[in-house]
Amino acid sequence: MSSNPSAGPQAPAAPPSTVSCTIDGKPYTFPRGTLIVDAVRQVGRPIPYYCYHPRLEPVGACRVCMVQVEGPPVATRGPIVTTGCTTPVFEGLKIETMSDPAKLARQQVLEFLLINHPLDCPVCDKGGECDLQDFTLAYGPGKSQFAEQKILRHKAEDLGPFLVLDQERCILCQRCVRYENEVLHEQNLVLKERGDRTVIDTGAGEPYAGYFSGNNTELCPVGALTSHTYRFKARPWDVRPVPSVCQGCSLGCNLTVNLRGPKIVRLLWRENQAVDAGWLCDRGRYGFGHTLAEQRLATPLVRRDGELRAATWEEALSAAAAGLTAGPAAVLGGGRLTDEESLALSQLARLGLRTNDVDWRVGYQGFAAPAAIGLSEAAITDLDRSDLVLLLDTSPLEEAPVLDIRLRRTARRATVIDLGPVRNLRHAASRRVACAPDELARRVAELAPEFAAAQSPLVIWNGRGGPALAEAVAALGAPLLVVGEFANARGAEAAGLAPDLLPGYHAVGAGAEVAAVWGAELPREPGRDAAGILNAAASGDLQALYVVGANPLRSFPDGELADRALDAVPFLVVQDLFLTETAQRADVVLPALGALEKAGHTSNLVGQSQPVARAVAGPAGALADGMILRRLAAALNVTLADQAPPEAETPARVRLPEAGGERPGGGSGEELGLLLRPRLFAGGGTAAFDPNLEPVHVAGEVRLNPEGTDRLGLQEGAAVHLHGAGTTVRGTVRLDAGVLPGWVVLAAHDFGGNRLGPRVRVTAVPAAAGVAAR
Amino acid sequence: MGALSQVRSLGRGLATTFGYLFRPRVTVDYPERERPVPERFRGLHILDRHDGGLEKCVGCELCQAACPAHCITVEAAENPPDAAVSPGERYAWRYEIDLLRCIFCGMCEEACPTGAIQLTPRHDFVAFRREDFLVDKRWLTVPDPAVVAPEAEPVRPPAGAGGKMAG
Ligand code: SF4
Ligand code: SF4
Ligand code: SF4
Ligand code: SF4
Ligand code: FES
């Protein structure tokens, strides 16, 4: 995992670090400062709690965790009943969880909580896994003395794209509010009103706007905060849990798939402190709708008489095999495959197509592993102790959201330098250094003294910017976290899906060990990178192109080149889940299974290979990429090796593609420089086709600094045309002070933006034309 | 043992047989005539309605959970705001019982918080195909007095609820 093991701070000499106490008569020893609730939980004694949560600060709001304690420092007063979540254990403390006073106290708290609670259990999504049900059954009074009319409040209140609130069911434990405050440093959910009128609501009364709303549904101990996607879909007792790993981005948060029958009904977090710290983002949590989306490809398609028509697998594979071997062929994509499938694709390209024209980098990312540019690797948990972090033109929030949660915590005590043309750390304080893309390398070099002085510095970068920037980063000498553009970019690179790399970071031309495992001679000349492949295709040097799980028409920074290349190449095979823009141009379309529909391993951004399970079957006519590759390899007379080639002792360096031309606008101020920057819910992967994510889908978003927009007559929400080199796209203005003036930001992977060229003119769409265009 | 004792025992046996000719009959001419069932007999199920016509079932799945024979399948959905099926937020868009599996224990009735599922004294279930014993909401729900002709549409998932799950 990490080549930078943490030394661990030495514990300072202190009073004994453990204390001894008794719980229900039995003696135990705990580290000093352990809360009673944790101690009791650890030894397996029962204790109810609502407001306490292991990942939140204790607050003592619900009063249900009552235990009886006796001993120092309360010895003089005799036994008292107190909240276990706000009291640490002391030396000699006697804790009784089931004494009569403790029982009575809990009973009274529960009776009080139920005074205004509705009798909703049969229609409540939490029913069956509700702490209020469970604790009332275990510790509650048999009946209530309250005979008056309950207070009525809003039910089924729509809080935003994913959340539903039932105010009546809320027990005001404030877990949600504290999560928003302490963990996210956002205020998307707040308490409003006072006393018995207190309710939870979104901050401004606007729909919930953050990326992490779903965690609230798991934090909420009752059925107050639930989700639209799971609403009334199942009961906890009819779901089957399957542990897996999210492949929505390169972080690889651990999760549990919940299935009812053959369908996914929800995804839940599965805490892995080293990766996700227990959280999921909404992209990961709700992005499972594509498994049942209607547009899923369920049968192979072959172009006949100019049209894509349904075909059998045999027909499609033999057509693909024939087309791919008719002349020089190249492979693009692979960043969304499993580790095993990436290896298979690598071998198929080298031995089946006899080419090193292979590249997973169909977007902006230039490399995936720090070792590929000769740098050392940071662990994700290094963020918890680093004192200086450089955020290099990278947005963890948009590219690996749960990493941003950790970074926000880091930013509370460490310096975070947010360098680049767009402000990327949005929910914590940082030292913002705004600069144009062409100044990045110089600005990074300027930070060298500061980095030299730092104890434990760290760089977060998404690998965009070319060799010059990589050199500047390398000069800082700090460990690097590379946020991947595609979920398994790291696995693709490690499998040698690059023109100058073989599996295990052997250099092309020096792959004797790889050749030994694969049992065949390898092509020795380094191949062309993605831009080279597309150029060759556009100029007629390539006979065939095999695109696997990629959509270069949307993702490649030079969309115009991708367009020409796909037009010119005589034979195009596309393997994907959906009929993407690229797949629509194909001669053969091979329907593949999605991330939750196949088993294997996926490498996250620090190269940790995590197992993924096949949770659902997927469309009957589609095959796992690995199976498609196996069958295609058979058609090409290649036997895929079961075994991965050994790793190279010193990893070979990757030749980085030159940075795409991001240039400032023209002098007149009329022209703006164009930046394509990732947005979480934009793009042409599964997110674009996911009905669950539809409410948050980002398309045509034009981000501009408010400065100077009046002169252009542009306000928030205005419809605009962006005029670029030879093409015009339409979008909607979002004013964003975090964007460098003189630049306009479009979402990477949002269709059209990559065809505008480096400079655009922004004009308001005349009102009448706006209506007509609809 | 002589022949005489054999004849005697034959006669004794036949006497029992012929004796029944003169006793009251215990069989009835079913189905023309039916025997009354005990008051708490557990026969075929119904899904009841409230007086106003709304379905009592709220799709809570408790009957499904309670059923020891696993023969109930319930899938719930949000009540359409303008055409509520049941009181409250939730109703069962799918409700199926496999009557061949059911052991008529009445646990479903016991579990139901709204009194929707009830076992009636009715016990005449005949069909020529197994599938016909898999009954759904149209069969189970008592007719709505306000609706003259019961709707003949098949049971379909409401928009957004997705397709049926198998089994
Ligand atoms: S929150 Fe819990 S106790 Fe309240 S209605 Fe829902 S299931 Fe019942
Ligand atoms: S909504 Fe849930 S988590 Fe938030 S205060 Fe209410 S009960 Fe607690
Ligand atoms: S009577 Fe028993 S076996 Fe039949 S449906 Fe009800 S619970 Fe199941
Ligand atoms: S019949 Fe009763 S127990 Fe079964 S789902 Fe409907 S309301 Fe719930
Ligand atoms: S859990 Fe201790 S007061 Fe809420």
pLDDT tens figures, A31-73: 999 999 999 999 999 999 999 999 999 999 999 999 999 987 6
Any domain includes B109: yes
Q: Assess whether pLDDT exceeds 60 at residue A229.
A: yes
What CATH number is associated with residue B98?
3.30.70.3270
Strands (E), A163-236: 163-165, 189-192, 199-202, 225-227
Task: Say what the pLDDT of residue A449 is.
Answer: 96
Q: How many CB atoms lie within 10 A of CB A297?
A: 21
Assigned CATH topology for domain A301-366+489-635:
Rossmann fold (3.40.50)
Any domain includes B97: yes
Task: Say what the pLDDT of residue B152 is.
Answer: 53
Query: For residue A128, which phi and psi values (nearest 5 degrees)?
Result: 105, -20
What is the token pair recorded at A456? 């434990």
First to last CA, chain A: 51
CA distance B86 to B80: 10
Could you tell me which residues are beta bridge partners of residue A192?
A: A199
Could you tell me which residues are beta bridge partners of residue B134?
A: B98
| Residue A691, min C-alpha distance to chain B (Å) | 9
A59 touches ligand 2 (CB under 6 Å): no
DSSP symbol at B85: S
Between the CA of A228 and the centroid of ligand 4 the distance, in Å, is: 22
Query: For residue A564, which phi and psi values (nearest 5 degrees)?
Result: -65, -40
Task: Say what the pLDDT of residue A709 is.
Answer: 78
**Architecture category of domain A370-482 in CATH:** 3-Layer(aba) Sandwich (3.40)
Report residue A97 CA to chain centroid gap: 41
Torsion sign across C-alpha atoms B29, B35, B41, B43: positive
Between the CA of B74 and the centroid of ligand 3 the distance, in Å, is: 13
Confidence of residue A688 (pLDDT cuts 50, 70, 90): confident
> What's the burial of A653, exposed, middle or buried (CB within 10 Å: 0-12/13-18/19+)?
middle
Which positions in chain B touch A123 (Cβ < 8 Å)? 58-60, 88-90
pLDDT per position as a tens digit, A456-490: 999 999 999 999 999 999 999 999 999 999 999 99
Any domain includes B163: no
Asked if the Cβ–Cβ distance from A122 to B165 is below 8 Å, we say no
* Protein residue whose Cα sits closest to atom 8 of ligand 3: B67
CA distance B94 to B136: 7
* Protein residue whose Cα sits closest to atom 2 of ligand 3: B105
Any domain includes B146: no
Nearest-CA neighbor of A220 among A378, A20, A97, A62?
Answer: A62
Q: Do B94 and B61 contact (CB within 8 A), yes or no?
A: no
Task: Say what the pLDDT of residue A707 is.
Answer: 86
Ligand nearest to the CA of A192: 2
**Architecture category of domain A671-771 in CATH:** Beta Barrel (2.40)
Confidence of residue A407 (pLDDT cuts 50, 70, 90): very high
Domain with CATH 3.10.20.740 in chain A: 19-113
Domain coverage including residue B120: 39-140
Between the CA of A436 and the centroid of ligand 2 the distance, in Å, is: 44
3-state secondary structure A79-115: CEEEECCCCECCCCCEEECCCHHHHHHHHHHHHHHHC
Q: What number is the average pLDDT over the span A310-326?
A: 97
CA distance A678 to A667: 27
| CATH tag, A19-113 | 3.10.20.740
CA distance A329 to A572: 10
Residue with tokens 């594509």: A290
Cross-chain CB nearest to A292 (options B61, B90, B162): B162
Torsion sign across C-alpha atoms A536, A537, A542, A544: positive
| Residues in Cβ contact with A18 at an 8 Å cutoff, skipping those fewer than 6 apart | A29, A30, A31, A32
Asked if the Cβ–Cβ distance from A235 to B58 is below 8 Å, we say no
CA distance A549 to A333: 6
Q: Assess whether pLDDT exceeds 80 at residue B5.
A: yes
Asked if the Cβ–Cβ distance from B113 to A122 is below 8 Å, we say yes
User: What SS3 class is residue A390?
Assistant: strand
DSSP symbol at B163: S
Asked if the Cβ–Cβ distance from A261 to B166 is below 8 Å, we say yes
- Residue A183, amino acid: V
Q: What number is the average pLDDT over the span A281-289?
A: 96
Any domain includes B128: yes
Asked if the Cβ–Cβ distance from B165 to A262 is below 8 Å, we say yes
Helix (H) or strand (E) holding A459: strand A457-461
* Number of structural domains found in chain B: 1
Q: Assess whether pLDDT exceeds 70 at residue B149.
A: no
pLDDT per position as a tens digit, A159-174: 999 999 999 999 999 9
Domain with CATH 3.40.228.10 in chain A: 370-482
CA distances from A586 to A55, A129, A571, B32 (A): 49, 48, 7, 71
Domain with CATH 3.30.70.20 in chain A: 121-292
Residue with tokens 């680093």: A386
A contact set with B (CB within 8 A)? 121-123, 127, 155-156, 231-233, 235, 237-238, 260-263, 292
**Residue to probe by mutation, ligand 5, list A66, A69, A85, A139, most atoms within 8 Å of CB:** A85
Please state, for a pLDDT cut of 70, what percent of chain A lies above it: 96
Q: How many CB atoms lie within 10 A of CB A414?
A: 21
User: What SS3 class is residue A525?
Assistant: coil
Residue with tokens 């295709």: A537
Cα-based angle A413, A608, A333 (whole degrees, multiple of 5): 110
Asked if the Cβ–Cβ distance from A156 to B90 is below 8 Å, we say no
| Residue B124, min C-alpha distance to chain A (Å) | 32
DSSP symbol at B155: P
Any domain includes B102: yes
User: What SS3 class is residue A585?
Assistant: coil
Task: Say what the pLDDT of residue A75 is.
Answer: 60
Q: Do A490 and A603 contact (CB within 8 A), yes or no?
A: yes
Q: Assess whether pLDDT exceeds 70 at residue A427.
A: yes
Asked if the Cβ–Cβ distance from A232 to B64 is below 8 Å, we say no
Residue window 67-106, chain B: list those with CB within 8 Å of chain A.
76-78, 88-90
> What's the burial of A431, exposed, middle or buried (CB within 10 Å: 0-12/13-18/19+)?
middle
Q: How many CB atoms lie within 10 A of CB A738?
A: 16
Domain with CATH 2.40.40.20 in chain A: 671-771
Q: What number is the average pLDDT over the span A133-155?
A: 93
| CATH tag, A121-292 | 3.30.70.20
Strands (E), A88-224: 94-96, 157-158, 163-165, 189-192, 199-202
CB-based contact, B62 to chain A, within 8 Å: yes
Residues with CB under 6 A from ligand 4: A 122; B 57-63, 74, 92, 111-112, 114, 116-117
Task: Say what the pLDDT of residue B1 is.
Answer: 60
CA distance A316 to A301: 7
Any domain includes B121: yes
Residue with tokens 């408790």: B62
Choose the mutation target among B54, B56, B60 for the interface with A, i.e. most A CBs under 10 Å.
B60
Domain with CATH 3.40.50.740 in chain A: 301-366+489-635
CA distance A514 to A522: 9
CA distance A354 to A734: 48
Q: What number is the average pLDDT over the span A596-609?
A: 96
Residue of B nearest to A294 (CA): B162
